[in-house]
Structures are given as C-alpha cells and as structure tokens.
Structure 1
Amino acid sequence: DRVGEITILALVFGLIGAKIFDTFENWNSFVQDPSTIFSVSGLTFYGGLIFASLAIWWYARRHKIGFWHLNDAAAPSLMLAYAVGRIGCQVSGDGDWGIPNHNPKPFSWLPDWMWAYNYPHNVNEVDSPIPGCVGKYCSQLQEAAYPTPFYETLICLVLFGILWALRKRLKVPGTLFAIYLMLNGIERFFIEKIRVNTRINLFGFQPTQAEVISTLLFLSGLILFIYLNRKAKPTILPSPK
C-alpha cells in the first residue's frame, strides 16, 4: 500500500543527494556558476543512494515497516537501475567516460567503440570540434577513452543476475542488501582505476570521491553481513544440571 510513497520519497531525496554530492565533487565549477545547483545535469549515484537510503530508513521506522526486508526487496532493482542508467551515460557522453585508451584492441572482432570511444556529440561539449558540425553538441574527445559506462552496464547486469539468484536462498533479513553493498563497492572501486574523476587529498593519498565511498560501502556491507548472521544465530542455552 505504501509503495508509491516510498518510491516518491526515494526519488526526491535521491535526486537531492545526487546533486549535493556532485556539487562537492565539482566545487570549483559550482563556485564559478552557482546556478548549476538547479540543473538536472551532473548527478552522483552514491549521493542519491545514501540520501534515498536515509529517507527510506526514516520512513520505515516511522511506519513500523521491516527496514531490512524493504532493502532486500530493493537490492536487485538498485543494481539493475544502475546498469540501465549507465546506458544513458554512454549514449549521451555526460563525462563518465574513462581515461584515454592507447592499448591495442585485444580481439579483432570487437567493435572499436567497445574498446576506445571518442564520444562524438557529447552533451558536455568538451574537447575537439567535429568538422562540419554546426550548433550545439558538436564536440568529441581528442583521444578515444575507455567506455566505462558500457563496462559498468555489463558488469552490473551480471551482478543483478547474482542478486536475483540469491534473493530466495538467503533467509536472514538484510543479508541480500549487505551483499549488494559489497558488490557495488567492489565494482565501482575497480572501474575508477580507468575512469576520469576528480581526486581529493586524504591523509596523503589522492583517491577519487567514488573510491572512498565505494570502500566504505564494501566495509559497511561486510560488517552488516557478519552482524546480521551472528544476530540471527539462535542462542544455545546451557543444559540444566
């Protein structure tokens, strides 16, 4: 009965969180043009995930709904939604591409764009003008880059299949969501190695914002998985003498 309310709540707070995280990730651009805070472009997935999760937690607690059951039900859909969303990133060329790829193509039958792509007519309108193109969206990358959104779509479709297969096998509420957090964290952490992103200074290291959050997500999922399974184990009382 409350699916509509939960969906709207997650959507609204997810968009707010995605925009806030993107603003902090691209702070210099925001300072130059504060009006970008109202733009629908530039959204960070992890910001949306965190804010939406907090909103759903508050809603579930207020209405006495099983929070972990709710998260388990959403886990496969979250992975699938991420995979589908990355298709949009690949097609539009919104800046989520990888670093330049100068490596030779490993398989001759592989289409060039699956290995290195210059994102012609990208919505960010960055890099080199396309000869003969007039008007908006007439730019392409000078150096073909790893099509990381495409890779993430493939990986997350596989991870969705894993979560879908596990959904009826796990008996402890919350463990499917914990596995989702771990899988999402692993996927994003390693894709960041070939992805263009802003780096931050953190205790002498220079990780990307996504690397930090993905690491925290993995650790949170691992701790949650262990905690929930230990909590679910029946307590063995000593036998009466």
Structure 2
Amino acid sequence: MYPNLFYAFKDLLGLELPFLKLFQTFGFFVAIAFLAAAYTLTSELKRRERLGLLKAVPEKITKGKPVSTTDIIINGVIGFILGFKIIGIVSDWENVSQDLQSFVMSARGSLVGGIIVGAALAYLKYRSGQKNKAEKEVTVTELVHPYQRVPDFTVMAAVAGLIGAKVFHNLENWGDFVQDPIGSLLSFSGLTFYGGLIVASVVIIRYARKKNINVLQLIDSAAPGLMLAYGIGRMGCHFSGDGDWGIYNSAYVTDATGHVNQVDPSKFQEVLKANEQFFARQYGGLEHIPHAAFPKPSGLSFLPDWFFAYGYPHNVINEGVLMPGCTGRYCSVLPISVYPTALYEIIACLLLFALLWSIRKKIKVPGMVFGIYLVLNGIERFFIEKIRVNTKYDIFGIHPTQAEIISTLMVIGGAVLIWYCRKLYNSAKTIS
C-alpha cells in the first residue's frame, strides 16, 4: 500500500523524495477524480449546446471595479497560512519530515514566514486591482456558456462534497465521533461518497437554477463523469488502504510480509486466537467477527490470490498487527485477509462509466441518463455492501447499512426519475 506518494515513488521508481509525504495517495486520486469529472462534464455540455439542448445565458458583468478590502484581506490570510506552513516546513525540515501530515494539521509553523508571505500576497492583490482599474466602472452584458460554469461546479462540488462526506461518515460512525470529534472532523480519512454526492447535488442544482441552466440536461451531462469519478476515487481507497475494505475472507491468511496464502478454513480460528488482542479490540470479542470463506475457483486460476483476499500491508490507517522488521509510521498488516471491495468497485464503475458514455448520445429523453446512473450506482453499491465492513442500523428488525439505505433510495429515485422524464417527454411531443 502507498499511504502517500513518497511510498509510491520509492516502491515503483526507487526514488526517495521526502516532500512527497505531503501528498496523500487518497487525496491525489480524489483530485484526479474531480479533474476527470470536470473534463467529461465540459465535453458533454459543449456537445449538448451544439445540438441546441443548452444555450448561453446573458449575464451582466462589471468591469473596472476596484479591488475590495475583503479581497485583499482574504489574499493576506491565504498567504499567511501558506507562508506559516511552507516556511515552517523548510526551517524545521529535519523534524517535520518525519510526520508531515501531523505538522500540516497542527498549530506549528513559522510566524515570520506567515507574515511575510501574507503581506506580499495582500500587496500583490492590491497592485493588481490598481493596475487593472479603469477610469470608470462599466457594466456590460456577456453571454456565458454552460460549460464555462464547470470551474464553479467543481469548486462547489469539492467544498460541499467534502462537508457532506464528513457529516455522513460521522453520522454512520457516531461512537467514534463522540470520542474524538475534532480528530474525526480534521482527519484525512473518513469520507462517505453518498454524503458528498447528496450535499454537492443540492448545492449545484440550486446554483444551476439561479443561472438559468437546464437542470435535466446538466445532470445528464454529469452522470457519466460521476461514475468515472467514483471509480477513480475508489483507487485512492484501495491503494492507500483507508479501511474501505470488505469482511474477512477466512479462506486466506496474511504472512508477516503482507502476502496472502490460501489455507483450510479451520485455520481461521487459529489465527483469531493468535491475534486475539487485535480482534477483541476491534470487535469486542471473537464471536462476532464478519467473515466468509471463498477460495479462488479453479476456473479463475489466472487471477492472483490478492484479487480475492488482501492484507493491505502498510495501510494508511495503521490497521492490523505490526510487520516484523518494519520501521516507520505505516507498519501494519491485517492478520487475516479481507475482500478488496474497493478493487471490485473500481472495475465495476469503470465498466458502468463506459456503458453510460456509450448510450448518452442515443437517449433523447432529458433526465433519463441520470436516472440510469442512479439505478446502476445504487445496484452496484447495494450488492458490494454485502461483503463490506460497515455500521448497521436496527430498523424494525432489519439491519441495513447507511449505504444500503441510500443505494436503495437511489434505485427507487432513479426509476421514478426515468418514469417521470419519459412521461414529460412524451407529453411534450404530443402537444407539439
């Protein structure tokens, strides 16, 4: 596993570049996911505008407006934070390099560096405003194309999505949140995709309505990119080992180096007892440990064992037992291998993205592509939950996970949306 890019470059290229410890593997893939979604959304919005399904909207823009005091202050604050941390890293590199992530999230830094960089950025903002200021403010009307709003969509999705993902994750893991609320909110891990999707969708749809963008065409344009972004985001989960894995596959155990070995299921109990302290800490005992034995079928012998069970050595959350001879911060491995559910979702979502991308030009009913996305994503997530580790609720004797509840609602909502959009489309055709 690669907790951050330092480990990836060291393992894959043999390069040891300490500054790469700043860049978490999960965060790297999340950034790539946003860029991929933005690219596909831009492409689709342009295509739909060429077909006349979307149109540019006139908007009044004021030019020659002086830079406000608020803008200067914001630039100064951003500069202070950057200088405070970056100069702090450079000035105390020997100590900071041991744990860059903790340093970034701490109150440590260089006060002098923060003041210098903050003042510099504030001054540059002021000078930029003075240089570009016209003799007189002029208000002009310009046509703004829907695809030109993609940067706004991306920023809103990032901010609202992060907030929603954190809120839903902490609601799902309320016990952990109560024990350490600050740590839970500020940690680099612990994000629920559906929470981010729901909150970001609400914010973006409200914005689209305000800017007179056809919402059904917008969500259809976004659907393939959302599926692609989910698949890429799961790459971050898998390659960092962030805990989004499945239940134990009791047909496999993990050796001290992190390699998986197929064993008789009876070996499961032996390993449990040998690592009783770890399992008792996680599950309160050895009686309720989620597992299912599934050895590799003979017909799939060409697939590696880690496709069916994986120990996630050097995982970013330090889950498991210590690996002998390992030094450093990330030295844990799961003693019993788990189903690599993130890997399954990567494959499934990339295939579903290809499906949505291939049918997007054939479907003429506005809103239907997004309805299909909701159904496919809901079905995929519902079934993967059967072998994932998640908090379960007790609802009238039924014990679903948060993701199962939301995915079921997505399937129902997607089906209703398809029905409603088809009805609306047919009614419009009849009238015309």
Q: TM-score with structure 1 length normalisation?
A: 0.95
Q: Which residue of 2 aligns with 1:22?
A: 169
Larger Rg over CA atoms: 2
Measure how far apart 1:64 and its partner are.
1.2
For residues 4 and 49 of structure 1, what CA distance do their matches in structure 2 show? 17
Q: Which runs of 5+ in 1 are unaligned?
A: none
Return the match for 1:140 from 305, 326, 333.
Answer: 333
Contact kept? 2:366, 2:425, Cα under 8 Å = no
Identity of aligned residues (%): 57
Number of matched pairs = 237
Q: Which moved more, 1:182-191 or 1:123-132?
A: 123-132
4+ runs of 1 displaced by more than 3 Å?
234-237
Match of 1:4 in 2: 151
| Residue 46 of structure 1 pairs with residue 186 of structure 2 | no
Q: Deviations over 1:67-87 (max 9, x none)?
A: 111111111011011111111
Superposition CA RMSD, Å: 1.2
Distance (Å, rounded) in 1 between the aligned partners of 2:295 and 2:351: 26
My pick for the range that moved more, 41-50 or 95-104, is 95-104
2:213 to 52, 55, 65: 65
Q: How does 1:116-135 map to 2 (within 5 A)?
A: 116-135=309-328
Q: CA deviation at 1:5?
A: 1.1
Shift of 1:208: 0.6
CA distance in 2, matches of 1:58, 1:234: 26
Partners in 1 of 2:302 and 2:427 — Cα distance? 55
Pairwise CA distance, 1:108: 2.2
Q: Out of 23-32 and 106-115, give the one that drifted further.
A: 106-115
Q: Report 1:90-105 matches (<5 A).
A: 90-101=238-249, 102=251, 103-105=294-296
2:347 corresponds, among 147, 154, 162, to: 154
Residue 202 in structure 1 maps to residue 350 in structure 2: no
Q: CA deviation at 1:112?
A: 1.4
Tell me which amino acid in the other structure corresponds to 1:92.
Answer: S
Could you tell me how far 1:54 is from its partner in structure 2? 0.2
1:104 CA displacement:
1.4
Cα offsets for 1:47-106 (capped at 9, x unmatched): 000001000111011111111111111110110111111111111111111111122111
Q: Work out whether 1:167 is the aligned partner of 2:357.
A: no
Q: Distance in 1 between matches of 2:427 and 2:179?
A: 58
Which residue pairs with 1:188 in the alignment? Answer: 381
What is the CA–CA distance in structure 1 between the aligned matches of 2:186 and 2:313, rounded to whole Å?
A: 26
User: Of residues 73, 80, 84 in structure 1, which corresponds to 2:228?
Assistant: 80
CA-CA distance at 1:202 after TM superposition: 1.5
Decide which moves more: 68-77 or 107-116.
107-116
CA positional deviation for 1:186: 0.2
Give, in whole Å, the separation in 1 of the partners of 2:331 and 2:305: 21
Q: 2:213 and 2:410 mapped to 1: Cα distance?
A: 24
Higher mean C-alpha displacement, 195-204 vs 73-82? 195-204
Counterpart-to-counterpart distance in 1, 2:309 and 2:186: 33
Shift of 1:3: 1.5
Alpha-carbon distance between aligned partners in 1 of 2:319 and 2:427, rounded to the nearest angstrom: 59
